[in-house]
Every structure is written in structure tokens, then in C-alpha cells.
């Protein structure tokens, strides 16, 4: 079996050599074929890195053409073939990347900012492996009037208040905010009240500001989202990502949310989350109560038996003190 496996590996390598006679890097289809033959992520990654190195050596430089053509669809196909994070991350590091010059070429071709952002994200789905931009490159892009959204996408950095303010002031459409947020995520920072106000005034969508905060949803946030005419799918995405503060909304806040346009199913999910938290708290309290009272059960049984028989109490003073303490504990937890 091992000799057969080795033979297949040698045969596959031979196929790769023939197909890459012009020193082109390994293709996604070839990577998928290797995974389907049962080779590990590490083995396939090693072959991919080698093919890129060979292509660069043949061309005399590590050009864009010597890198692997990887996009979101290719990643999905690789994952379907069994590729794990180790292989995907390795491929992202040697994939073709959109550069500052590429973005300038897009502008010359009069691509829209939507097309620019989609191209940048599609060409390098993993933001951590995008080439990023230097201060000089950023200045050049601004000078050439490249849309803010394209500059932010090329940077590959998680979105923070300053980037969102820049996007808002540039009149960036909500759809592009969503695309960038999905692709790059948010900084792990707590937005101040001042920065939140500035973001709102700059035109940053309300649901983006709430997503940046990263806190469970409360009625006040939902009311703000409703008043901002937030689409239902944005409500759903926030609810899935952030959850709800487990506090049952008051009748007044429920009315306010309804009047603000908060979807009924979102209000119902908030109420359900609060009910589940209340039940969970009750179960924990009941368990603690049971453990605390259990030692005194026999004392209660003795007291009842004595009362039914009309006999004198057989309980001693220490027992009565313990029983009194148990009764007081029970009374405080009813």
C-alpha cells in the first residue's frame, strides 16, 4: 500500500512537472487533486511553496505571475476537498496579491469603488496576508483620488473608529461597509461616546457602529437601529454575532422598539434570551437551595413524626437551632 501511495505521489509530481514546464506555479486544480489523493496539508503546502519558488527563480524575480491565483471560490473548493487551516494559511501567504499599482490601474480603467473593493477582497480573501500599504503609498492613493474604501481594503487591517469615520465622510455606501466588515472584522477597542457621536455624524451606518462595539444588544441599541431604518438582514446578522443582554424588556421599551421599526422576530428573540437566562438562574438557585436544605430533611421528618404521635419533641436544642437556620434560609429563597 505504501509503495502504491509512493508511486501515485511520484506520478503526480511528474504530472506537475510536465504541466509547469513554463515554470508556472501550481494551480488550484492541481492542489485539489493532491488533497483528493489523500496527501496531508503539510505535504501539499510544501509542494505549493516549492512551485512558487521555482517559478520565481525561472523568471528571475518573485513577480505576481509567480504566485498562486487564489480567491474566495478557490478556497471554498479546497476546503471541500479537505484542506484545513494549515494549508489555506500557507497558500494565502504565497498567493497573488493586489498591490498599490494594481489599484491605480483599476482607477485608470474607471472601475467603481464597489468593483475595486470586491477585486481586492477576492484576490486575497485573507486580510492578514494582504500586502498592506506604506504611508507613502497611502499618500499616493489619496493624491490620485482613489476611493477611501479601496484604500481601507488594500490595508487589510481590522476596522476601527478612525477608518470608519474616513469611510463615512467619503459617503461610502452601506453595502461596502458590510463587505469590508465581513472581510476584515473590527478592532478590539471600545468606542468612546465621543467617537460614537463623530461616527454617527460622519454617516457611518448605525449597525456598523453597534457591530464595532461588540456588546450584546439592548433595547436602546435596537431602538437606535430601528430609527436608522436598518435592514432586517442587518438586525439578524447583529443578533447572531452579538446576542442579547439577558434582561427582559419592559412593556414601555417593547412599545418603543415596535414604534421604531424593530422587527418583531428580533424583539421575540430578545424576550426568549431573557426567559432562558431567568430559567438558567432559577435552576442554579434551586440546585444551591436543595444542597443547602438537604441536611435538615431528617430533622423536619422527626418534628412531623413527633407532632403526629403527640409525643414530646425528641429533637435536642442544637437540632432545633439547625432547623431554625434551615427554615430561615428557605424563607429567604422563596
Query: pLDDT tens digits for the chain (334 residues)?
Result: 444 444 444 444 444 444 444 467 888 889 999 999 999 999 998 988 888 888 777 765 445 555 777 777 788 888 999 999 888 888 877 777 788 888 999 999 999 999 999 888 877 666 655 667 888 998 999 999 999 999 999 888 899 999 999 999 999 999 999 999 998 889 877 788 899 999 999 999 999 999 999 899 999 999 999 999 999 999 999 999 999 998 889 999 999 999 999 999 999 999 999 999 988 888 887 787 677 666 666 666 665 666 566 655 555 555 556 666 666 655 555 5
DSSP string, 171-236: T--HHHHHHHHHHH-B-S-PPPHHHHHHHHHHT--HHHHHHHHTPPB-HHHHHHHHHTT--HHHHH
User: According to the model, what pLDDT value does residue 10 have?
Assistant: 45
User: According to the model, what pLDDT value does residue 207 have?
Assistant: 95
**Secondary structure letter of residue 67 according to DSSP:** S
User: According to the model, what pLDDT value does residue 22 have?
Assistant: 47
User: According to the model, what pLDDT value does residue 26 have?
Assistant: 83
Q: Which pTM value belongs to this model?
A: 0.66
User: According to the model, what pLDDT value does residue 1 have?
Assistant: 45
Contact 271, 262 (CB under 8 A): no
- Domain segments of the chain as ranges: 2-93, 100-277, 284-332
pLDDT digits (tens, 9 = 90+) for 55-72: 777 765 445 555 777 777
User: According to the model, what pLDDT value does residue 20 have?
Assistant: 44
pLDDT digits (tens, 9 = 90+) for 122-152: 776 666 556 678 889 989 999 999 999 999 9
User: According to the model, what pLDDT value does residue 5 have?
Assistant: 45
Amino acid at each position: 500500500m505504501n509503495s502504491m501511495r509512493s508511486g501515485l505521489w511520484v506520478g503526480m509530481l511528474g504530472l506537475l512537472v510536465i504541466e509547469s514546464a513554463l515554470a508556472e506555479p501550481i494551480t488550484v486544480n492541481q492542489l485539489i487533486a493532491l488533497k483528493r489523493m489523500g496527501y496531508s496539508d503539510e505535504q501539499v503546502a510544501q509542494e505549493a511553496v516549492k512551485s512558487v519558488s521555482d517559478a520565481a527563480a525561472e523568471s528571475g524575480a518573485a513577480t505576481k505571475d509567480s504566485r498562486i491565483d487564489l480567491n474566495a471560490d478557490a478556497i471554498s473548493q479546497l476546503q471541500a476537498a479537505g484542506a484545513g487551516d494549515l494549508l489555506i494559511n500557507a497558500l494565502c501567504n504565497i498567493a497573488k496579491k493586489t498591490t498599490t499599482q494594481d489599484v491605480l490601474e483599476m482607477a485608470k480603467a474607471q472601475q467603481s469603488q464597489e468593483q475595486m473593493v470586491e477585486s481586492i477582497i477576492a484576490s486575497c480573501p485573507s486580510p492578514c496576508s494582504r500586502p498592506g500599504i506604506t504611508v507613502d503609498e497611502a499618500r499616493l492613493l489619496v493624491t490620485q483620488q482613489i476611493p477611501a474604501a479601496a484604500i481601507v481594503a488594500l490595508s487589510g487591517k481590522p476596522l476601527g473608529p478612525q477608518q470608519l469615520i474616513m469611510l463615512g465622510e467619503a459617503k461610502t455606501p452601506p453595502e461596502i461597509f458590510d463587505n469590508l466588515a465581513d472581510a476584515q472584522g473590527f478592532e478590539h477597542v471600545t468606542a468612546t461616546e465621543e467617537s460614537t457621536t463623530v461616527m454617527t455624524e460622519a454617516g457611518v451606518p448605525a449597525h456598523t457602529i453597534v457591530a464595532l462595539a461588540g456588546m450584546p444588544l439592548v433595547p436602546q441599541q435596537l431602538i437606535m437601529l430601528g430609527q436608522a431604518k436598518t435592514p432586517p438582514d442587518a438586525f439578524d446578522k447583529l443578533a447572531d454575532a452579538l446576542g442579547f443582554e439577558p434582561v427582559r424588556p419592559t412593556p414601555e421599551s417593547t412599545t418603543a422598539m415596535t414604534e421604531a421599526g424593530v422587527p418583531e422576530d428580533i424583539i421575540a428573540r430578545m424576550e426568549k434570551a431573557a426567559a432562558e437566562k431567568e430559567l438558567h438562574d432559577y435552576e442554579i438557585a434551586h440546585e444551591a437551595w436543595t444542597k443547602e436544605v438537604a441536611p435538615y430533611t431528617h430533622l423536619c421528618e422527626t418534628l412531623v413524626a413527633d407532632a403526629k404521635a403527640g409525643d414530646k419533641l425528641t429533637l435536642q436544642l442544637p437540632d432545633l437551632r439547625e432547623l431554625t437556620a434551615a427554615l430561615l434560609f428557605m424563607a429567604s429563597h422563596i
